[in-house]
Amino acid sequence: MNSKERALTAFSHKEPDRVPIFELSIDNPTAEFVLGRSNLCGFGGKARGFLQNKAVLDGKYYEYHENRIEDKVELWKKLELDVFPGVFPIPKQPSVPEQISEYEWKFSDPNSGFWGIYEYSEESDVYDQVNSSLKEGGLAELEKLTNYLEKQEFDPDLWDFSLVDSVIDGLGSEFMVLGEADVEIGSTFDWAETFLIGLIETPDLIHRYLDARLKPALKMTEMLLERGVHGIHGGYDWASNKGPVFSPRHFRQFVFPRLKQITDLCHRFGVPYVKHTDGNVNVLLKDMIDAGVDGFQAIEPRAGMNIAQIKKDYGDQLTLIGNVDCSTVLVNGPEEAVREETKNIIQVAASGGGFLLSSSNSIHPGVKPEYYLAMLNTAREEGKYPILKKNGEI
């Protein structure tokens, strides 16, 4: 089997030749260790924020994304991973930031009045929004933005799909290629307080805002599916280590009906939808399945997510993608501990298919390259079907 066949077999809840290997993102130093050079891989703040903003200001935005894709393709091929996630179009005319300081930028939209300030921390390699008109203006500002968004019509001519097409043309017969789409929830941004207050005080406004964001997301998803991606994944985090960021009741009211519109679109094209989220989402698993989610990635052990129990309870309905702990063993090792954890996860989750091995989130800058490579080597040694249990049984 090649990578694409292997992954699709697992998603169909059948056993391929071996356990497929998935990774959401691989940052430096692991990417640099494998490629032997500097690169633009991963979610790291320098690649995703600092260098992207510099490219925009230098008039090299397309070249930046072209190099980013080339680096990622080379990395995925060298590591012989089975799924290539994170394919998306780029705007033909990107927003040009105002550089406030060496590590601080302001993005402003003169049409909507919305603005946001982003900051990069060299010490932690984190790039994130730290202030915005929504954070300062509260619900009144959210209503202004929603009114503006509701008047906008999706224009496909504003988006450049050439890099999407190049990935599908170049990798589509070899890898399972995933596009991106999700229900945007404001609880993951700097204006989380405004969003959470709105859930209680102005639910109609939150419904309007989410619908205004969902409308173009569905159009973009359809264009990705028409181009031949093999699935879609979403990346908004829903939870902390103790539980969801807002109540399951509100997820059922605001998130899952909209998520089902995305999954229904995927299923119309005959491809799966994969949901990534950090944190403890045990109370949301049944709702995820009812909303049409086919795969669940991350499954954080430190957040109380037991992959063996989830396999037992939902393994016939949900493809599990996880969950070697990237907060402990892939950071601290030793290699023997990495091998043992990888082997144990395969033994409890791989039988019958419906499983792809990955870290419990992503290969972030704290992961040691040698530990990640030990995980991959173990997966290929121990992940051959049929899977043998500790007692030697199949």
Are 209 and 142 a contacting pair, CB within 8 Å? yes
Q: Which residues of the chain have pLDDT under 70?
A: 389-394
CATH number for the domain that contains residue 245: 3.20.20.210
Give the model's pLDDT for residue 391: 52
Burial 189-217 (b: 16+ CB within 10 A, else e): bbbbebbbebbeebeeebbbbbebbbbbb
Are 342 and 324 a contacting pair, CB within 8 Å? yes
What are the backbone dihedrals phi and psi of residue 120, each rounded to the nearest 5 degrees, phi first? Answer: -115, 130
Q: CA–CA distance from 335 to each of 85, 301, 331, 387, 389 (Å)? A: 27, 18, 10, 22, 21
H/E segment holding residue 98: strand 98-101
The range of the structural domain enclosing residue 12 comes to 3-43+80-91+140-382
Whether residue 362 lies inside any domain: the answer is: yes
What are the backbone dihedrals phi and psi of residue 203, each rounded to the nearest 5 degrees, phi first? Answer: -60, -35
User: CB neighbours of 193 closer than 8 A, spacing ≥ 6?
Assistant: 135
Whether residue 57 lies inside any domain: the answer is: no
Q: CA–CA distance from 143 to each of 108, 133, 138 (Å)? A: 17, 12, 9
Give the model's pLDDT for residue 152: 96
User: Alpha helix (H) ranges present in the chain?
Assistant: 3-11, 30-35, 45, 51-57, 61-79, 133-150, 162-171, 192-201, 203-227, 248-250, 256-268, 285-290, 307-314, 329-332, 335-349, 369-382
H/E segment holding residue 271: none
Give the model's pLDDT for residue 18: 98
Whether residue 118 lies inside any domain: the answer is: no
User: CB neighbours of 314 closer than 8 A, spacing ≥ 6?
Assistant: 285, 286, 289
Whether residue 103 lies inside any domain: the answer is: no
Model confidence pLDDT, tens digit, residues 106-160: 999 999 999 999 999 988 888 999 999 999 999 999 999 999 999 999 999 999 9
Whether residue 260 lies inside any domain: the answer is: yes
Give the model's pLDDT for residue 46: 85
Q: What is the pTM of this model?
A: 0.96
Whether residue 125 lies inside any domain: the answer is: no
Domain count, the chain: 1
Whether residue 316 lies inside any domain: the answer is: yes
Are 288 and 297 a contacting pair, CB within 8 Å? no
Whether residue 53 lies inside any domain: the answer is: no
**What pairing do the DSSP bridges indicate for beta strands 319-324 and 295-298?**
parallel
Give the model's pLDDT for residue 394: 56
